[in-house]
Amino acid sequence: MPAPPAQPQASRAKVTGVVLFYLFAALAMVMANKWVLNETPAPLFFLTTQLFIAVCLFLIADTLRMLPDRLTFDVKVCKGLVPMVGLSVLGLSLSNFTLKYVDASVYQVARGLVLPFTVAVSGVVLHTRPSLRILFACAIVTMGFFCGVFLDRIPMSLVGVGFGVASSTVTATHSVVIKQSLEVVNKSTILLSWYTNLLSIFVLAPIVFLTEGSAVMKLLFGVDELVREPGVMSPLRTFVIGSLITGVVGFMMSLASLLSIKVTSPITHMVSSAVRGVAASMLGVWFFQEVISGGRAASIAIILGGSVYYTWVKHLESEAAKADGPAYERVPMGDVERGQGKPE
C-alpha cells in the first residue's frame, strides 16, 4: 500500500516550505528595520507606516478571498482587545527603539530576557509552577544575557539594553494576554492580526503627532536631499522603500506565523527561530559591517542553547501530561520583526 509512505514525504515538504518562508520573512524584517532606523529620526512614524501598509494588504487579500477568515470590524471586539493592542503598541515601539540603538547582530541579546520574563509572568498571572528544568533553562538564558551585556569587550549601548529589557517585559506580558485575546476573535489568528494592526494605527497616530511631528515634517519636506552626496540614498527614499518592504514583510509574517503554528511542531519552530537568530547576526555583520566578538558569539550561543533546551523540556512535560489541546505556549524569540499580533 503506497499511500501511507507518501503522506510523510508531502508533510516534510510542507513543513520545510513553511519554515523557509518564516525564516525569510523574519530576516527580511530585521534587516530592513535596521536599515531604515539607522537613517530616520522618527521610529514611531516608521512603525505607523508599516502598520498602515499591512492593513491595506489585509483589505486587498480579504477582497480577493485569500484569507481563511473574512475581516470584520466589531466595536465589542475592539473593546475586548484594548489590553492586547496597548501591549502590542508598547512592545513594537520598544523593539524598534532597541534595534535603533543596538547592532542588528546582537538584537536578540538585548532582548534575551524574554524567556525568563515570560516564565515569571506566567507564574504570577496564571499561577503556574515551572519545573526545576524550566528554571534551569531560564538561568542559562539569563547567564547568556549578562555575558553579552557586561562581559564582552565591545560595549553595548546601555540605552539600547534598557529598551531591550523593557521590550522583553512587555513581550512576556503580551504572550500571556494573547491567549485571552484569541478568545475574543473566536481563536482566529488572522482576525487578531487584523484588529491589532488596525487599532494600533489609531493609538500611534496622536503619539506620533505629539512626539515626532517636527521630525516627520523634516523627513517629508526637508531639504537635506539637495546636499546629499551623489549615489547615496536620501533619508526620505530610504524611509519609503524600507516602509514598503517592512509593511509587506509584516503582512507576510502574519501568514507565516499562522502557517507555522498549524504545520510545524514547537521544537521545529524553536529550532527555526534559533537558526534565524544566527542568520540575523551574520547578516548584520555583512550588511552593516558590525563586529561579532567572541563574547557576543558566546552570548548568542548560550541564549539560543537555553531557549532550545526550554523547548525540549516543555515538549517532554506536555507529552507526559497528555493534556487536552495545545499544552505548549510558544515564547517569542526576540522578534525584531514586527510581531503583527501573532501568537508565536
pLDDT per position as a tens digit, 185-206: 888 888 888 999 999 999 999 9
**Mean pLDDT across the stretch 36-41?**
84
Task: Between 69 and 179, name the one with better pLDDT.
Answer: 69
Tell me if 326 is assigned to some domain.
no
Report the domain count for the chain: 1
249/171 Cα distance (integer angstroms): 20
Q: Burial of 39 by CB count in 10 Å (0-12 exposed, 13-18 middle, 19+ buried)? A: middle
pLDDT at 274 over 90: no
Span 38-64, mean pLDDT? 90
What is the model's pLDDT at position 5? 44
pLDDT of residue 228 exceeding 60: no
- What is the model's pLDDT at position 143? 93
Identify whether 275 is part of a domain: yes
Q: What is the pLDDT of residue 4?
A: 45
Least-confidence region, from 67-71, 129-133, 251-255: 251-255
Report the 10 Å Cβ neighbour count for 14. 13
Cβ neighbors of 173 (< 8 A, separation 6 or more) are: 87, 121
Full-model pTM: 0.77
327 located within any domain = no
Residue 59's pLDDT band (cuts 50, 70, 90): very high
Q: Which domain holds residue 180?
A: 14-222+231-321
CA pair distance 319, 168, nearest whole angstrom: 28
Look up residue 46 and give its amino acid.
Answer: F
- In-domain check, residue 121: yes
- For residue 330, being part of any structural domain is answered with no
Q: Who contacts 161 (Cβ-Cβ below 8 Å, separation ≥6)?
A: 102, 110, 149
Residue 101 in any domain: the answer is yes
Which one is predicted more confidently, 279 or 20?
20
Is residue 255 assigned to a domain? yes
Whether residue 335 lies inside any domain: the answer is no
In the predicted structure, residue 338 carries a pLDDT above the cut 60: no
| pLDDT tens-place string over residues 276-289 | 666 666 777 677 77
Q: Which pLDDT tens digit goes with each residue over 203-221? A: 999 999 998 888 888 888 8
